[in-house]
Amino acid sequence: MSIERWVPLVGWLRRYNRKLFSRDALAAVIVTLMLVPQALAYALLAGLPAEMGLYASMLPLVLYAIFGTSASLAVGPVAVAALMTASALSDLATPGSPEYVSAALVLAALSGLILIAMGVLRLGFLVNFLSHPVISGFITASGILIAMSQLKHILGVEASGHNVIDLLGGLLSQWQQVNITTLLIGLGVLGFLLVCRKRLNTWLTAIGVSASTAGLMVKAAPISAVVVTTLLAWGLNLAQHEVALVGTVPSGLPAIGLPSLDQTLWFGLLPAALLISLVGFVESVSVAQTLAAKRRQRIDPNQELIALGMANLGAGVSSGSPVSGGFSRSVVNFEAGAATPLAGAFTALGIMLSTLLLTDMLAFLPTATLAATIIVAVGTLIDLPAVKRTWQYSRSDGAAMVVTLLLTLLHSVEVGIICGVVLSLGLHLYRTSQPHSAVVGRVPGTEHFRNVKRHQVETDERVAMLRIDESLYFANARYLEDTVMALAARSPSLRHIVLTCQAVNVIDASALESLEAINARLCDAGVKLHMAEVKGPVMDRLKQTDFCDALTGQMFFTTFDAWQALAEAIKANTPPLPTQ
Amino acid sequence: MSIERWVPLVGWLRRYNRKLFSRDALAAVIVTLMLVPQALAYALLAGLPAEMGLYASMLPLVLYAIFGTSASLAVGPVAVAALMTASALSDLATPGSPEYVSAALVLAALSGLILIAMGVLRLGFLVNFLSHPVISGFITASGILIAMSQLKHILGVEASGHNVIDLLGGLLSQWQQVNITTLLIGLGVLGFLLVCRKRLNTWLTAIGVSASTAGLMVKAAPISAVVVTTLLAWGLNLAQHEVALVGTVPSGLPAIGLPSLDQTLWFGLLPAALLISLVGFVESVSVAQTLAAKRRQRIDPNQELIALGMANLGAGVSSGSPVSGGFSRSVVNFEAGAATPLAGAFTALGIMLSTLLLTDMLAFLPTATLAATIIVAVGTLIDLPAVKRTWQYSRSDGAAMVVTLLLTLLHSVEVGIICGVVLSLGLHLYRTSQPHSAVVGRVPGTEHFRNVKRHQVETDERVAMLRIDESLYFANARYLEDTVMALAARSPSLRHIVLTCQAVNVIDASALESLEAINARLCDAGVKLHMAEVKGPVMDRLKQTDFCDALTGQMFFTTFDAWQALAEAIKANTPPLPTQ
């Protein structure tokens, strides 16, 4: 029981059978075909040797299969993590250099340790503070940055940079060095992949191919582009035409070993590792939850933290780049029928076989082909209409999204996401610090009370009923004081104020002090304070204090009770104006 | 109208008359008597020459009278600002040195500019994020630190430090140097002041003195201690017994001039200036609001920012230390009858006269006397029972208070207050990220719905009604997904989930996406999602989106409507279990 909690594999492996095996094996073959070019491409995007993408698709997948809870999540190198890796490391060393590679392994191991620690300490809730608009703006901006960073491979020039300005500047300064052969290959693959994505499915179903086969053939388009352009490069000896090829990829499996233990490096990479961990986790959990729900299954987010952490730790000790759960590969894995996390382990086996057998061939793969597959793949990340949609729904959500998007594009991924998170928290706190409240009156003949500004309602100039539409806590406590005292200052004939609290879920210590201050000040001004519809848990707490005794007025069960009682009190005994 | 908005003096000066003048003048005399020793003492506490406290009680008070909106607030040097000044400057220069004095003027001017900028930009709401427990913990810790920092003057030794550990260490290492004469003066004054505070009022009223005269005599106790010990020091030539005296205070008015314009200094002091501004503003506004409410008046917090800013700017250009609204002096000012802000300007006149006439005498004032008056004065700041009270009311408020208190005592004022604010915001966000929710059922025979765990209620295994007790925003959006999907996963016979939303004041873009995801996942699982009691403003927003169309179930006006409709739907047509 205890082992099963930490190692879910122990639980489901007992029920493993031939049927599940055949489903997992089929999914693994399909995902392997998709993963080989992606693994190479994302390693190059991260500024790492191509084989590190393959290494990141071996041990990490096996570890995820042991510790993970999602049957469908396809772990491995992903585009956004690759972009963030490049951004984090480019200040430390030259891309591709031994120091750079060494730092990448530290980054992976550190991300792994952070994720495991968060899982063990059950800190998964921390990702809740990455709001949807921030994540969405960040992912869209990352997609644009990744696509732009691949243009140099398609143009056959040298250019680098981690924001739109640097990337554009680099490309423009190099436009005279464009390699026509490379450009033709790049545009050819790009056109082919786009046509496959947009039309192939329709064409195939039109000629009678079944929908599922057609879907698989569409997914296989990148691998056929890889095969064709590799054969072209080999047959026509394109290296002589200065077409950049992937080049020698060492055959064989990665060595296992500890990453560098340089303390300065570890501390320096901490912020970047934290961001990569959080972003990777949010994306992985979102896709895993969505896919699990389709089969009415559930995943355990805190166990996912541990599983993704083990996968990254595995990458760090086996020469792999940082890994995460990939969106499109997971969907393919799911649709191909993956039944247990073992599908991932079988994929790792497929990648190992490919590494042992195919490296001679992969050496002839043009980088322009990889760039074209990346550009098409990240197209699904870019969702610009979401900006307009979010802005229309809520200005503050829209603002957080736009700021994240623009800062990521124009400055860097780190600054973009951090500013987005801080802004979204700040806007949320600002909003709740000025909560909506409304003076309400009785809808004639009913027990309902509505906003006096919107409805024809009954009121009494000696009684004001204020409905508060937010929990009361320190950030809005003084706002409440202002609102109530302004109400009291406006009408000299006022004798009673009733706060109706059906939307008040919490009254914290600051708000309690404010209520005490309001009560005392209203008392000085000859006005009684009452409360109505206070919730059970809130009331339980108030009863522990002497607020209820100090309250000049009463606690009413409903707003209507308050209305009736005060109307009677006023009728029975209109008190004289207090002398001031 | 426009001038009056920025310079409130223009408004009320037209209505000024002899009666108001005599009230203001009387209040000014009393406050002056109280302020002279306090101004000297707080300057010494801040590590500044004694006269800077007097200078801070001239121009700043006149400027506050022009721009302020509170008739009672007594601006000038205060204990907490003095402590924060000393803490901010001690790393930069030796206390009392020209560089130190110069930095203090920059600190005052910078605080002034920050406050003015906040007022003009209407950023007064920022102080709402300083919660009561954090402020209260901070003020108590400051009181303890100030009292401890004064012990050296009473013992007649040299010791410094900005936390309890350093202060205690300094005092213990010096215990052999204790000056007995100084100690006798210090303990004598301390005993006298404590007896006056605790007993004098009772004694005086017992022998027939009127309550108000007795109150004023109690307030005058410090000034009589100052007069007596000064005469003693002069008559007995105590300087020869190595009793520390205030020493030569330059007679005359301060020079007006710009503070240092050293950029590094300005940037370095920015964080400290921000903290002093915010803390000073919170304290000033609290006392001003409390006093204004007693006369059913109101103050304008954003105009107060400008007025306090002008006062600090005035201090910075006229050799004064940072100023703020003092709690005890404001209460005295109010009780003495101050009717307009001119009372403050008259106090400034009183301080000017004192500076011109009394400096020869003040040179003989023992610092031990001043230390004793400070210790007694800050006694009112220390409120340790509040810690217990706050902890009992709310664990998270109590934790924020204890952390602020301990870090301020054990580390420094800056770290204490910053950690307190961050912790209180974090705890608030954590709490709202895991909101209370309850599955509710119908109280038999009524239209009321209550928590199934607490009450005997009717339920139906095919319908789950979930009441959500918090606004839905990004931090709790995923928590909502978890809660709902766990509910769905628990009971296979479930067909309908109703979210009742009477406590949901906002649904932000993240929560909307979560609701869409929940709706889609429940649909996949054969469960319909309904909503009930959605508030008007929330509904208005939802209607702009296609969520209402996508919703598999219905929007019900009340929970009871939902209950009736679903009961009928189930009775009329029990659908077959969907094949999975």
Quote the tokens at residue A446: 């009913």
Work out the minimum CA distance from A312 to partner chain B, whole angstroms: 24
At residue A247, what are phi and psi to the nearest 5 degrees? 80, -175
Q: Is the pLDDT of residue A407 over 50?
A: yes
The better pLDDT of the pair A488, B445 is held by A488
pLDDT digits (tens, 9 = 90+) for A418-442: 899 899 998 888 888 888 888 989 8
Q: Which residues, at least 6 apart from B135, have a Cβ–Cβ distance to it below 8 Å?
A: B279, B282, B283
Contact list, A544 vs chain B (CB under 8 Å): 392-393
Contact list, B503 vs chain A (CB under 8 Å): 502-503, 505
> How open is the CA angle B554-B558-B560, to the nearest 5 degrees?
95
Q: Which residues, at least 6 apart from B413, have a Cβ–Cβ distance to it below 8 Å?
A: B83, B84, B87, B138, B141, B142, B145, B162, B275
Amino acid at A420: G
> How open is the CA angle B513-A374-A391, to the nearest 5 degrees?
30
Contact list, A133 vs chain B (CB under 8 Å): 474, 509-510
Residue B442: count of CB within 10 angstroms of its CB: 21
pLDDT for A296 equals 66
Q: Do the Cβ atoms of A93 and A99 come closer than 8 Å? A: yes
pLDDT digits (tens, 9 = 90+) for B77-127: 998 899 999 999 988 888 889 999 999 999 999 999 999 999 999 888 777
CB burial string A138-163: b at 16+ within 10 A, e below: bbbbbbbbbbbbbbbbbbbbebebbb
The closest alpha carbon to B246, from B350, B88, B373, belongs to B373
Q: Which residues, at least 6 apart from B403, have a Cβ–Cβ distance to it below 8 Å?
A: B137, B419, B420, B423
**What is the pairing mode between strands A463-468 and A437-442?**
antiparallel
Interchain CB distance below 8 Å, A290 and B521: yes
The closest alpha carbon to A228, from A240, A219, A236, belongs to A236
The closest alpha carbon to B23, from B334, B320, B314, B444, belongs to B334
Q: Please report the beta strands in B31-184, taking only residues with DSSP state E, as ranges in sequence order.
A: 74-76
pLDDT digits (tens, 9 = 90+) for B155-172: 888 877 788 888 888 888
- Please state the pTM of the whole predicted model: 0.79
Q: Do the Cβ atoms of B372 and B196 come closer than 8 Å? A: no
CB burial string A203-236: b at 16+ within 10 A, e below: ebeeeebeeeebbbebbebbbebbeebbebbbee
**Does the CA dihedral A332-A336-A342-A344 come out positive or negative?**
negative
Amino acid at B359: T
**What is the pairing mode between strands B496-500 and B463-468?**
parallel
Contact list, A484 vs chain B (CB under 8 Å): none
At residue A458, what are phi and psi to the nearest 5 degrees? -85, 135
The C-alpha atoms of residue A333 and residue A343 are separated, in whole angstroms, by 8
Q: Is the pLDDT of residue B497 over 90?
A: yes
Highest mean pLDDT among A344-353, A358-367, B327-336: A344-353
- Out of A293, A510, A580, the one facing B525 most closely (by C-beta) is A293
Interface contact B99, partner A, CB < 8 A:
no
Mean pLDDT on B363-369: 90
Mean pLDDT on A375-391: 88
Mean pLDDT for chain B overall:
88
The closest alpha carbon to B12, from B52, B62, B50, B65, belongs to B65
The CA R_g of chain A, rounded to the nearest whole Å, is 31
Residue A411: count of CB within 10 angstroms of its CB: 15
At residue A157, what are phi and psi to the nearest 5 degrees? -120, 175
Interchain CB distance below 8 Å, B131 and A434: no
The closest alpha carbon to A46, from A186, A165, A142, A184, belongs to A142
pLDDT for B486 equals 87
Q: Is the pLDDT of residue A174 over 70?
A: yes
The CA-atom distances, in angstroms, between B571 and each of B173, B442, B444 are 86, 17, 19
Interchain CB distance below 8 Å, B509 and A393: yes
Residue B214: count of CB within 10 angstroms of its CB: 19
The C-alpha atoms of residue B104 and residue B49 are separated, in whole angstroms, by 11
pLDDT digits (tens, 9 = 90+) for A312-348: 999 999 999 999 998 888 888 888 888 899 999 999 9
Q: Which residues, at least 6 apart from B123, have a Cβ–Cβ distance to it below 8 Å?
A: B117, B305
Q: Do the Cβ atoms of B229 and B189 come closer than 8 Å? A: yes
At residue A8, what are phi and psi to the nearest 5 degrees? -55, -30
> Residue A308: which pLDDT band, with cuts at 50, 70 and 90?
very high
The C-alpha atoms of residue A522 and residue A552 are separated, in whole angstroms, by 9
Interface contact A121, partner B, CB < 8 A:
no
Contact list, A434 vs chain B (CB under 8 Å): 125
Contact list, B396 vs chain A (CB under 8 Å): 508
The better pLDDT of the pair B243, A294 is held by B243
Interchain CB distance below 8 Å, B128 and A469: no
Chain CA centroid to CA A302, Å: 16
pLDDT for A577 equals 42
Interchain CB distance below 8 Å, B474 and A296: no
pLDDT digits (tens, 9 = 90+) for A519-552: 988 888 889 999 998 888 889 889 988 899 999 9
Q: Do the Cβ atoms of B70 and B326 come closer than 8 Å? A: no
Proportion of chain A above pLDDT 70, given as a percent: 98
Strand partners, B366: B245
> Residue B579: which pLDDT band, with cuts at 50, 70 and 90?
very low
B residues 489..508 contacting A (CB < 8 A): 489, 502-503, 505-506, 508
The C-alpha atoms of residue A356 and residue B462 are separated, in whole angstroms, by 55
Q: Which residues, at least 6 apart from A245, have a Cβ–Cβ distance to it below 8 Å?
A: A233, A238, A239, A363, A364, A365, A366, A367
The C-alpha atoms of residue B351 and residue B345 are separated, in whole angstroms, by 10
- Out of A428, A524, A545, the one facing B294 most closely (by C-beta) is A524
pLDDT for B159 equals 77
Tokens 């103050």 found at: B299
Interface contact A455, partner B, CB < 8 A:
no
Domains and CATH numbers, chain A: 2-426 (no CATH), 437-572 (3.30.750.24)
pLDDT digits (tens, 9 = 90+) for A50-104: 999 999 999 999 999 999 989 889 999 998 999 999 999 988 888 889 999 999 9
Q: Do the Cβ atoms of B290 and B70 come closer than 8 Å? A: no
The C-alpha atoms of residue B379 and residue B381 are separated, in whole angstroms, by 5
The C-alpha atoms of residue B344 and residue B76 are separated, in whole angstroms, by 9
Contact list, A476 vs chain B (CB under 8 Å): 128
> Residue A579: which pLDDT band, with cuts at 50, 70 and 90?
very low
Specify the 3-state DSSP secondary structure of A420: helix
The C-alpha atoms of residue A471 and residue A435 are separated, in whole angstroms, by 9
In this structure, what DSSP letter does residue A320 have? Answer: -
